[in-house]
Amino acid sequence: MVRVGATVTAAAAQVGIAVEQVCGGRGTCGKCKVRLLTGRLAPPSEAERRHLSAEELDGGYRLACQAAVVEDCTVEVPWAAAASGVSILVEGLLEPVALDPPVQKETLRVPPATLTEPFADLTALQRTYTGAARLSPSLEALRALPGALRAAGGLVTMVRAGERLLAVEPGDTCGACYGLACDIGTTTVVGYLLDLATGRRLAVASTLNPQTRFGDDVISRIDLASHDPGGLEALRAAVVEAIDSLLGQAAEAAGVAREQVYALAVVGNTAMHHLFLGLSPAGLGHSPYVPVMADPLQLDARDAGLHAHPEAQLFVLPNIAGFVGADTVGVLLATRLLESDEVRLAIDIGTNGEMALGSRARMLACSTAAGPAFEGAQLSHGMRAADGAIDHIELQDGHLVLHAIGQGKLRGICGSGVVDAIAVLRRLEVIDSTGRLRTSDQVAALAGAELAARLVPHGQGGAFVLAPAEETAIGGPILLTQRDIRQVQLAKGAIRAGIEIMMQELAVAPEQVAEVCLAGAFGNYIRPESALAIGLMPHLPRAALTPVGNAAGVGAQLALLSRRTWQDAAYVVDHVEYLELSLRQDFTRVFMQAMMMQ
């Protein structure tokens, strides 16, 4: 039963149908088109009148996030509007590390008390322990201690995090010590189950970040958490439930009880960090974009709402600045930029673009609002990297060849596909160096009549047909509009400007950059030659372009496997200088130059 006044999105969610919510239900993206078959909905809102043509409204089409239910009705959710499985990057370059996890197990044989040595159980344990410091026991450990000592003839296994005694188990259980590393992305969440006794990765689980139903971008979530009385708790509960579910999935896949997971490490951008912990992100929503805290945290996992061992420890990596978070710290730990004698660059493009440049001598980091265009949220037919998304385009014998994720007809285009499209059209001179689509006559003369025929009039300043209507599931062609190209120019211009300003600040010449580490899903799937063709980064003649996968997730795994890496996370924050681009007087000039398609 759906209450009167509920939106179609809410009604669909009640029966387990997820509808795309790119704009968080504000009616600004127009991507949640559904069709009324029977019954009646409330009159169309202003947002619906902006996004739907008169013909579409007459045909029963509505926006699910805006249309309100007023009586019994039947609504069709087209495949193009249904949220589908997202292609999630889980792999990264995990290099060997000296195994020394922050939570460890040790086996002891504790002699029984006697009349001549009537030591208390804890005292007897501490006298047997060879560590230099006295252990501080948890209440859970104290409650388990007497039974454990007497169950196996004094043979027990201590579970400790530094000087803190988390648990005491009867017998030798050292072979069962596990941890979960988690990367909380704005769009996706990935969990890695690790064997802390061997360092092996046992299972991986991933999911779409459920916070996306409140909005695809961090700004919409910050706004919700800051101004809606229940917003912060709703966002926190959603992501905690997702992580808890991933923990259960990974444990089940590996044949491990979740109670045998004693440690968790988490990375995420600063907004995701705050929302996961239930910290107000209000300070991130306005200048000077100040987080609640930036230090590393060691907490009891149960206090964060996670169900592992009762005394499991949660290690939350630190943030660098308001929009350079723990995920960037993870990238720096994974790529070891701060250990390098040569100048290296790391770029992580998600819903924001974070970059770090430098060496052990000096390291800078900055952030740009770049990601929504590359993730599809601001493009006319943009979408996540999910089934039906065009993810690559290439030119073969003068013809455009499209590759898409999954099976079936095309639904839209994701970030890597957009970059390929613009790069190919730039090479064919369909797009000029300023980013403008040429006229049909110009394209016919430069590239032939077939490509010229793909240029069509459009209210956003003209468009190029990537896929005709008969090849799509959206009832029309998939277009790359002039406005789409401008959105990509703004995004890529901001990233390139950030890189160039960091190079200026460090007095680094292009030939001095030895490597560019491309992190994240976008960096992993984008073709480097396409990125260079559209001018996403400066020409760096000596730099090797290295896709490093989910480097943020790798950083979280390293923090679980090595106390040194966990400590290095704080070192990263202390030794990376945050560069606020808005304070640079030269940013506008560099940004305008960086928007050029060259």
CA quadruple 190, 194, 561, 546: dihedral, nearest 10: -50
The yes-or-no answer to whether 8-76 and 104-170 have a common fold is: yes
The DSSP 8-state label assigned to residue 547 in this structure reads E
Chain Cα centroid distance, residue 213: 15
**What is the C-alpha separation between 477 and 475, in angstroms, rounded?**
7
Backbone angles phi, psi at 219, to 5 degrees: -65, -40
Residue 1 is encoded by which pair of tokens? 């039963």
CATH topology of domain 104-170: Ubiquitin-like (UB roll) (3.10.20)
Domain residue limits, the chain? 8-76, 104-170, 335-371+510-594, 374-487
Residue 259 is encoded by which pair of tokens? 């109670």
Preceding peptide of 288 cis, ω within 30°: yes
Q: Where are the alpha helices (DSSP H) in 15-53?
A: 46-51
Burial of 277 (0-12, 13-18, 19+ CB in 10 A): buried
The domain defined by 8-76 carries CATH number 3.40.50.12780: no
Local structure of 265: helix, strand or coil = strand
Q: Percent helix, strand, coil in the chain (nearest 5)?
A: 35, 25, 40
**What is the C-alpha separation between 16 and 310, in angstroms, rounded?**
32
Sign of CA dihedral 11, 77, 236, 219: negative
pLDDT in tens, the chain (598 residues): 778 888 888 888 776 676 776 666 777 777 788 888 888 999 999 888 888 888 888 888 899 889 999 889 989 887 555 555 554 444 555 667 889 999 999 999 999 989 998 999 999 999 999 875 688 999 999 999 999 999 988 999 999 999 999 999 999 999 999 999 999 998 889 999 999 999 999 999 999 899 988 887 888 899 999 999 999 999 999 999 999 999 999 999 999 999 999 999 999 999 999 999 999 999 999 989 999 999 999 999 999 999 999 999 999 999 999 999 999 999 999 999 999 999 999 999 876 789 999 999 999 999 987 656 776 667 889 888 788 899 999 988 878 999 998 878 899 998 889 999 999 999 999 999 999 999 999 999 998 899 999 999 998 789 999 999 999 988 899 999 999 999 999 999 999 999 999 999 999 999 999 999 999 777 677 888 898 899 999 999 999 999 888 999 999 999 999 999 999 999 999 999 999 998 899 999 999 999 998 7
Chain Cα centroid distance, residue 508: 30
> Which residue's structure tokens are 């001095």?
512
Q: Where are the alpha helices (DSSP H) in 112-267?
A: 121-128, 139-151, 218-227, 231-254
